[in-house]
């Protein structure tokens, strides 16, 4: 039953995304050149729908709670689904519907045995409850500093609550994984870009190697996370955007419509995680590759500029910073800005994930490797790299070309790794970086003739092994049931404060909206039905 429901979920979002693009094309002559970028429109539509839902919700939240906006969102979705009848759906290749259903069905098995991430109880559900039940909150991070990290995932997720079942929040993540594996399939077996094909074959091998190695495997490949985290979604958007731009640089091509697509993808990546700003390195290279007309770029991206301005405004309202917790983007004069909480957030990220210490690299490396699964993943990553390098010598032949991506790729990858190491070098934040480290192997080589069958076998095994084994066990025993993902506790024990509550015996409030990370609590100021939480320094 769960597999069927997810396929319907995916189809609905495909139709919403397609209806949106058709509507824009017919009314403002917006052209989407995805096929020319070697990525199918039908593959992209569900992710476009998710992007649309998230951004429409955060904009609406300036004025009304998302819970109030959901009926209007349903109305818009129905209109866009019906708008599909304006034009017959055209598939890009003969097996597209079958391949899509197979991939989405296999990935949906990961729903079985799924649970909520620890951070859902810590702050994600609290954040989503505020979004659902209130208009935008001024200084929300003063209630809990992690509420300053309010990504677009919070707004997307707030729409998909279904009574006490949070399974649809996992479906959101699955849409991105279907997009990812369809991208790999299409670039290998459908489209004719050597660079994208070679890159995708190597990534398929990397995915396969994730299932083997020290302590059972795990090599840093993008993973199915428990419900609530945007890391894998970010990695998919970041990685695919990088490859698409690099491919255009390699071919020395430029168009304003493609630049618009890259800018929207980059914006989406930043909305998911602020480290997506590194994508602007490739955007700059792409811009320098073209006509360099700033006026034309502004004209063709006016809507994006408006949405971006609103997003930054949202960040400033909730945290006092345009990009929380980047200090130089903060407005210190705002009464809800808290330098103490910004410093705390930075310290927590750097301390918990052991950010690099350039003054004592040997001691830092030892400490970092002994944190969590870092040693296991690092060993397996290098083992995978060596094996894939050797396999690639067998599968491919050397072919010298005039590559235009070496310098952009090196600079982009180096800056991305440095940003990761100096801030929050957690493994889940580096999924895309790990994959990008394999891309140099694809340069100046071509796949040998007669290898397509073997590559298809590797692809099939990789996707079959992508859901965890326990998910298959749950699926076999409960295939006819619809999965329920509920709170892991029947009752949250809390201390009643002057205003709000704090958790007892831990730091998880789950869906208690008025949850404070401190044991004091304080009553917010309410103006025009907007909540204002002032910082400790300004109370």
Write out the DSSP string of 83-98: HGGGS----SSTTHHH
Per DSSP, 494 falls in state E
Say what the pLDDT of residue 434 is.
Answer: 98
pLDDT of residue 198: 95
Backbone angles phi, psi at 19, to 5 degrees: -60, -40
pLDDT of residue 257: 87
530 with 136: CB under 8 angstroms?
yes
Question: What is the rounded radius of gyration, in angstroms, for the C-alpha atoms of the chain?
Answer: 23
CA distances from 177 to 47, 157, 181 (A): 10, 16, 6
131-160 burial string, b = 16+ CB within 10 Å, else e?
bbebbbbbbbbbbbbbbbbbbbbbbbbbbb
Alpha-carbon span 53 to 19, nearest angstrom: 13
State phi, psi for 439 to the nearest 5 degrees: -65, -35
At 274 the pLDDT is: 96
* 502 touches 519 (CB < 8 A): yes
Please work out, in degrees rounded to the nearest 5, the angle formed at the alpha carbon of residue 425 by the alpha carbons of 420 and 431: 75
Helix H, strand E, coil C: the string for 511-523 is CCCCECCCCCCCC
> Which residues pair with residue 515 across a beta bridge?
501
Q: How confident is the model at residue 135 (pLDDT cuts 50, 70, 90)?
A: very high
Maximum Cα interatomic distance, the chain, rounded to a whole number of Å: 72
Please name the helix (run of DSSP H) or strand (run of DSSP E) that holds residue 502, with its range, or none.
Answer: strand 501-503
The answer to whether 249 and 463 have CB atoms below 8 angstroms apart is: no
Which residue is it, tokens 């949070």? 166
Local confidence band at 489 (pLDDT 50, 70, 90 cut-offs) = confident
The rounded distance, in Å, linking the Cα atoms of 135 and 158 is 13
Extract the tokens encoding 194: 């050597």
Closest residue by Cα to residue 506 from 7, 112, 118, 89: 118
Mean pLDDT, residues 293-301 taken together: 86
pLDDT in tens, 353-385: 888 888 888 899 999 999 989 999 999 999 999
For residues 395 and 448, the answer to whether their CB atoms sit within 8 Å is yes
- Verify cis geometry, omega within 30 degrees of 0, for the bond prior to 457: no
**SS3 for 270-285, per residue?**
HHHCHHHHHHHHHHHH
The pLDDT of residue 215 is: 92
Q: How far apart are CA 185 and CA 194, in angstroms?
A: 14
Mind listing the pLDDT tens digit for each residue in 428-474? Answer: 999 999 999 999 999 888 888 888 899 999 999 999 999 999 999 99
Task: Assess contact for 239 and 433: CB atoms under 8 A.
Answer: no
- Stretch (H or E) spanning 380: helix 374-395
pLDDT, tens only, 102-133: 999 999 999 999 999 999 999 999 999 999 99
Report which DSSP code applies to 524. P
- 48 is written with which tokens? 């476009």
Provide the pairing of β-strand 501-503 with 525-527: unpaired
Distances, alpha carbon 506 to alpha carbons 121, 146, 357, 502, in Å: 10, 16, 31, 9
pLDDT score recorded for residue 401: 64
Share of the chain above pLDDT 90, in %: 73
pLDDT surpassing 80 at residue 87? yes
pLDDT band at 188 (very low <50, low <70, confident <90, very high): very high
Confidence grade of residue 396 (pLDDT, cut at 50, 70, 90): confident
Beta bridge mates, 116: 227
Residues in the chain: 539
Confidence of residue 515 (pLDDT cuts 50, 70, 90): confident
**39 DSSP assignment:** -
Quick: pLDDT tens for 432-443. 999 999 999 998
Model pLDDT for residues 5-36, shown as the tens digit of each residue: 999 999 999 999 999 999 998 887 666 666 67
Helices and strands in the chain, H and E counts = 21, 6
38-52 tens-digit pLDDT: 889 999 999 999 999
Torsion sign across C-alpha atoms 398, 404, 407, 408:
negative
Q: Mean pLDDT in the chain?
A: 92
Q: Which residue has the tokens 């459908």?
A: 190
Calpha distance 262→260 (Å, rounded): 5
Q: What is the pairing mode between strands 396-398 and 445-447?
A: antiparallel
- Residue-wise pLDDT for 203-247, tens only, equals 999 999 999 999 999 999 999 999 999 999 999 999 999 999 999
Q: Which residues contact 222 (CB under 8 A, 6 or more apart)?
A: 180, 232, 235, 236, 239, 431, 432, 435
Strands, E, within 277-353: which ranges?
none
Residue 56 contacts residue 76 (beta carbons within 8 Å): yes
What lies within 8 Å, CB to CB, of 56 at 6+ separation is 73, 76
């Amino acid at each position: 039953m769960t597999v069927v429901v997810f396929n319907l979920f995916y189809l609905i979002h495909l139709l919403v995304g397609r209806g949106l693009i058709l509507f824009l094309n017919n009314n403002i002559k917006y052209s989407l050149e995805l096929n020319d970028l070697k990525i199918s429109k039908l593959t992209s539509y569900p992710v476009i729908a998710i992007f649309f839902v998230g951004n429409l919700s955060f904009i609406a939240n300036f004025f009304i709670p998302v819970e109030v906006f959901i009926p209007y969102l349903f109305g818009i979705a129905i209109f866009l689904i019906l708008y599909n009848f304006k034009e017959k759906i055209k598939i890009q290749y003969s097996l597209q519907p079958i391949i899509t259903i197979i991939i989405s069905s296999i990935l949906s098995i990961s729903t079985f045995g799924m649970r909520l991430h620890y951070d859902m109880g810590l702050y994600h559900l609290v954040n989503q409850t505020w979004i659902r039940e209130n208009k935008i909150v001024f200084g929300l991070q003063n209630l809990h500093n992690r509420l300053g990290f309010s990504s677009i995932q919070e707004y997307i997720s707030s729409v998909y609550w279904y009574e006490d079942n949070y399974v649809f929040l996992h479906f959101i993540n699955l849409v991105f994984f279907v997009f990812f594996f369809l991208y790999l399939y299409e670039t290998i077996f459908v489209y004719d870009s050597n660079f994208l094909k070679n890159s995708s074959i190597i990534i398929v091998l990397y995915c396969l190697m994730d299932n083997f190695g020290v302590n059972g495997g795990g090599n840093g490949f993008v993973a199915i996370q428990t419900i609530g985290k945007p890391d894998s979604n970010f990695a998919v958007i970041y990685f695919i955007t990088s490859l698409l731009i690099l491919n255009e640089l390699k071919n020395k091509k430029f168009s304003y419509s493609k630049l618009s697509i890259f800018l929207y993808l980059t914006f989406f990546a930043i909305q998911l995680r602020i480290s997506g700003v590194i994508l602007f390195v490739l955007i700059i290279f792409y811009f320098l590759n073209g006509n360099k007309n700033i006026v034309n770029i502004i004209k063709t991206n006016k809507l994006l500029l408006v949405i971006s301005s609103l997003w930054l405004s949202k960040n400033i309202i909730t945290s006092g910073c345009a990009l929380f917790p980047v200090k130089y983007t903060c407005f210190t004069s705002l009464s809800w800005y808290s330098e103490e909480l910004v410093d705390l957030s930075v310290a927590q990220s750097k301390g918990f994930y052991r950010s690099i210490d350039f003054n004592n690299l040997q001691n830092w490396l030892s400490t970092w490797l002994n944190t969590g699964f870092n040693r296991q993943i690092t060993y397996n990553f290098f083992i995978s790299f060596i094996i894939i390098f050797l396999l690639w010598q067998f599968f491919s032949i050397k072919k010298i070309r005039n590559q235009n991506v070496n310098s952009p790729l090196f600079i982009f990858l180096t800056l991305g790794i440095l940003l990761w190491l100096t801030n929050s070098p957690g493994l889940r934040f580096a999924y895309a970086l790990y994959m990008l480290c394999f891309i140099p192997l694809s340069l100046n080589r071509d796949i040998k003739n007669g290898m397509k069958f073997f590559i298809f076998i590797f692809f099939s095994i990789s996707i079959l092994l992508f859901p965890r084994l326990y998910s298959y066990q749950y699926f076999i025993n409960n295939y006819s049931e619809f999965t329920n993902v509920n709170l892991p506790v029947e009752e949250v024990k809390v201390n009643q404060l002057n205003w709000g509550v704090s958790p007892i015996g831990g730091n998880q409030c789950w869906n208690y909206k008025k949850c404070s990370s401190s044991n004091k609590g304080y009553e917010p100021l309410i103006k025009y039905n907007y909540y204002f939480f002032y910082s400790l320094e300004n109370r």
